[in-house]
Amino acid sequence: MKDTVFTPFHVELNAKMASFAGYNMPIEYTGINEEHLTVRQKAGIFDVSHMGEVWVKGTRALAFIQYITTNDASVLTAGKVQYSCFPNGQGGIVDDLLVYCIDAETYLLVINAANIQKDWEFMCRIAPRFGLTPGKELYNASDEICQLAVQGPMAMKIMQKICDRPIENMPYYTFQKLTIAGISDVIFATTGYTGAGGCEIYAANADGEKLWKAVCEAGAEFGLKPIGLGARDTLRLEMGFCLYGNDIDDSTSPIEAGLGWITKFNDAKGDFLDRARLWKQKNEGVTRNLVSFEMIDKGVPRHGYELTDASGVAVGVVTSGTMSPCLKTGIGMGYIKTEYAHPNNEIFVNIRNRQLKAKVVKPPFIK
């Protein structure tokens, strides 16, 4: 099990630690609900150094990215970020990811921790077709980079105190290379997985300790607190954000998952892996859809619970579920037969052999 550069801080703070994607990660510090509300109301600092980072460089970098992802990366200019996914060639999803455009020949791909090796092998299989050599133009820097997320309505005010340039008015899904707390060449991005606003910060491992201490010191007056992966999950679920391994995986297509908005078929995009299959799904429709739902009866949906119609006939399955700390009601996501996937449609969740009523809603759960 790997530690991150921030692990000593988590241990010092008496965080509940557990193995996650092969890393020793903090699950919670003072309690998931309390940490969740801290992020919604003030700000929280997350260790997300378990995420993977892969550099793609060279004159054929864009062509490679266009082929292995579903979104149209040609619209990116320096300083822009894009959400996308890797199709697996069989209608499923290898992973979802962020694409950072450093310049026309340099891109950073940020991938999920549990999929680093799988994604790397996937990219290495295709890279030679575009003249990219693994270890050279395609480089896995995951073990060299630490990452912090500072999320919440106070996050940008906190970070402005230690950034060398203005950052508070940066547009969503953009980034700059900054000096933060005297640390140069830090990638500072207005991205995140909570829907609460804020940033994600990438630095060399050697600078991790200094970065953590500087952010915590700057955030003290704003009520900044460390947040574990437990609250990160409830925060993303309140926004209806997909979690790889739960809501999307190698057996789910981006069209089924409601990710048609990151699956482009325009001329600039051109050909890409699984284009024909996904185009057919887009035009002819699919038999199931990923939906968000809110409990009407009292109960908490959990991954794997059966979704049924009023007569008890199975029509789907829960992929993610929790008790919303903000709404104080059960919320979830799941795949369901297309005819049941309309907003406000009543469905039922089989919880301990009881059919509890819920309704399909349009995400996010909180506005």
Domain limits of the chain? 7-51+144-238, 52-140
Per-residue pLDDT tens listing for the chain (367 residues): 999 999 999 999 999 999 999 999 999 999 999 999 999 999 999 999 999 999 999 999 999 999 999 999 999 999 999 999 999 999 999 999 999 999 999 999 999 999 999 999 999 999 999 999 999 999 999 999 999 999 999 999 999 999 999 999 999 999 999 999 999 999 999 999 999 999 999 999 999 999 999 999 999 999 999 999 999 999 999 999 999 999 999 999 999 999 999 999 999 999 999 999 999 999 999 999 999 999 999 999 999 999 999 999 999 999 999 999 999 999 999 999 999 999 999 999 999 999 999 999 999 999 8
Cβ contact 358:348 at 8 Å: yes
Residue with tokens 């959400």: 83
pTM: 0.96
Q: What is the 3-state secondary structure (H, E, C) of 173-219?
A: CEEEEEEECCEEEEEEECCCCCCCCEEEEEEEHHHHHHHHHHHHHHH
Q: Please give the structure tokens belonging to residue 110.
A: 């940020």
What's the topology of domain 52-140?
Answer: Alpha-Beta Plaits (3.30.70)
**DSSP run (H or E) holding 236:** helix 229-238
CA distance 212 to 122: 33
Q: Beta strand pairing status for 44-47 and 52-57?
A: unpaired
Cβ contact 337:314 at 8 Å: no
- Exposed/middle/buried for residue 242 (C-beta within 10 Å: 0-12, 13-18, 19+): buried
Architecture of domain 7-51+144-238: 2-Layer Sandwich (3.30)
Pseudo-torsion of CA 94, 100, 101, 107, nearest 10°?
-60
